């Protein structure tokens, strides 16, 4: 897949405002396994950004391999601090909303 097609996919997904339609959209394009992997990657990034646990502890907590944690850590080295802060803020607000 070329980058232009991927950008179209991202643009279309950002245009969807209805959550039911958005769920359908991602169900159409992502397999159940891909959705699970993306969710796990999100949790890995949240944990890494919080910085409260070692990579081994994160792997144990999330039931995944240390290699996946390391991959997430390496990818985080390539993104801006602005994105890291946005993800961390979202993580904190999502945790607050889940505890209510």
25: which residues sit within 8 A by CB, 6+ positions away?
12, 13, 16
pLDDT of residue 88: 93
Q: How does pLDDT run across 76-92, given as a tens digit for each residue?
A: 999 999 999 999 999 98
Exposed / middle / buried, residue 45 (Cβ in 10 Å: 0-12, 13-18, 19+): buried
Q: How many domains does the chain have?
A: 1
Q: Read off the pLDDT of residues 14-64 as tens digits, 9 standing for 90 and up.
A: 999 999 999 999 999 999 999 999 999 999 999 999 999 999 999 999 999
Question: Could you tell me the pLDDT band of residue 99, with boundaries at 50, 70 and 90?
Answer: low
Q: Is residue 5 part of a domain?
A: no
Domain CATH code at residue 67 = 1.10.1270.10
Residue 78 neighbours by CB distance under 10 Å: 7
Helices (H) and strands (E) in the chain, counts: 6, 0
Domain that residue 30 falls in: 14-99
Q: What average pLDDT does range 58-73 have in this prediction?
A: 97
| Residue 4 in domain | no
- Burial of residue 77, with CB atoms counted within 10 A of its CB: 0-12 exposed, 13-18 middle, 19 or more buried: exposed
**Inside any domain, residue 7:** no
For residue 97, the model assigns a pLDDT of 64
In total, the chain counts a number of residues equal to: 100
């Amino acid at each position: 897949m070329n980058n232009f097609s991927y950008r179209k996919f991202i643009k279309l997904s950002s245009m969807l405002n209805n959550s039911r339609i958005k769920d359908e959209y991602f169900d159409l394009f992502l397999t159940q396994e891909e959705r699970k992997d993306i969710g796990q990657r999100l949790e890995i990034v949240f944990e890494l950004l919080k910085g409260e646990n070692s990579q081994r502890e994160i792997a144990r907590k999330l039931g995944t391999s240390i290699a996946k944690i390391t991959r997430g850590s390496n990818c985080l080295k390539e993104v801006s601090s602005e994105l890291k802060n946005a993800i961390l803020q979202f993580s904190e607000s999502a945790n607050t909303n889940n505890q209510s």
